[in-house]
A and B are shown apart, each in its own frame.
Chain A
Amino acid sequence: MIHSKQFSYEPGEHEAETASSSYLMSLIAIVVGLPLPIINLIATLVFYMGNRKSTYFVRWHCTQALLSQLSMLFINSFGFWWTVSILFTDETITSKYIAYIMAAFIFNVTEFIATIYTAIQTRKGIHVEWWFYGPLTNIVCKS
């Protein structure tokens, strides 16, 4: 799922720190904006915008962090609005809903762990590519 790969060049200390921060940004945002899933996306997006013109290593990891947040946004938003509709409309709690929340939770936890791991690794200057998001970032982010 997660591969440590050789990057095209050896990133410097400052680069590793900034790249690692892009993942930390989404972690902090999860804690702050858990009920509103859009918050973590906005946080990573702001960070991405700020580092658009940075070095390749930094840009690459900001992009991977942003893309991973984007897919979680879909999953979490759907769960969020489903919950709202249960609380405020005549929608009822069904096994389907509980199963969705569980599936979303599993994916969120997986993403959370992956994010922590990646933040640690990139801080050490190790390049980490995620399943699907890694190749996707390679397409989007050019040197």
Chain B
Amino acid sequence: MRKTIIQGSITVLLFFGTWFALTQIDWVKVFNVQKVTDKTEQKLGELFWEVFKKTENESTKAPVVNAIDSIVTHICTSNAIDRKKVKVHVLNKDEVNAFALPNGHLIVYTGLIVNSDSQEELTGVICHELAHIELNHVMKKLVKEIGLSVLISMTTGNGGPEVIKQAAKMLSSSAFDRGLEKEADIKAVDYLIQAKVNPELFAEFLYKLSDKENDALKYLTWVSTHPDSKERAEYIIEYSKGKTADYKPILSKEKWENLKAELGTE
């Protein structure tokens, strides 16, 4: 009996020992797993962006594109984010929405710009989406919602256009997990403070848009898909307390007004 127990224990130890010994090697690096994952993300980003490019109208107006580009560049340089990684697209659509696609594609609808009373509000939403990109939330959500196997089949051309369309729609019109949203909000506050943008105005934007009496509610995709805006506004204010900095607008007053005027609001 004793011999059996000893032999059994040695067998179990041998297995775990083998496992432990093998974990000492960085297999992810050896097998280039990261490279494969990056390639999948890159391909998915292209596929999803194609869907929006075909169905929506991309804004090419210089004041609009330049202004959004200035905001994104400023946030990236202040927070050591690789600017080249982020691909910004402004789409002409009334919906108050902004979202991230795989491989750093950031989509901003003109409806969001129009409905932002100040550039800080718009910057806050952009920071939130940039946080989703930087924290790799987009791929996490995709894998969770549709699974790695389907994602890989999409990149190899076996996904079918309808599946790709559905997945792209899901990314533009549904929120992440509560935990991920909060993580992105907190990260956004950090980004804003580093970029010397007042985060309280971002919180106020959430308060404002969560107001049910707002006429444009039907267009408020960004808020309706991100639940508990009031709660989010509260923890944003709470988190940004005591983190005050010397706030400065990113865009000049003239540039911001030009942007709004270009979109026909002023």
Contact = CB atoms under 8 A, between A and B. Distances in A.
B28 A98 contact: yes
A107 interface: yes
A107 B13 CA distance: 13
A32 interface: no
A63 to B, nearest CB: 13
Nearest to A86: B148
Nearest to A135: B4
A103 B33 contact: no
Contacts of A136: 4, 8
A96 interface: yes
A103 B149 contact: no
Given A89-B143, A90-B143, A132 B7 contact: yes
Given A75-B15, A87-B148, A88-B149, A99 B8 contact: no
Contacts of B31: 98
B23 A132 contact: no
Contacts of B23: 95-96, 99
Nearest to A137: B4
A143 interface: no
Interface of B: 1, 3-4, 7-8, 10-11, 15, 18-19, 22-23, 25-29, 31, 33, 37, 140-141, 143-144, 147-149
Given A93-B37, A132-B7, 12 more contacts: A86-B148, A88-B148, A90-B144, A93-B28, A94-B28, A95-B26, A98-B22, A98-B31, A103-B18, A135-B4, A139-B1, A139-B4
Q: Give the 7 A-B CB pairs with smallest separation, nearest first.
A: A99-B22, A98-B27, A132-B7, A103-B19, A135-B4, A99-B23, A95-B27
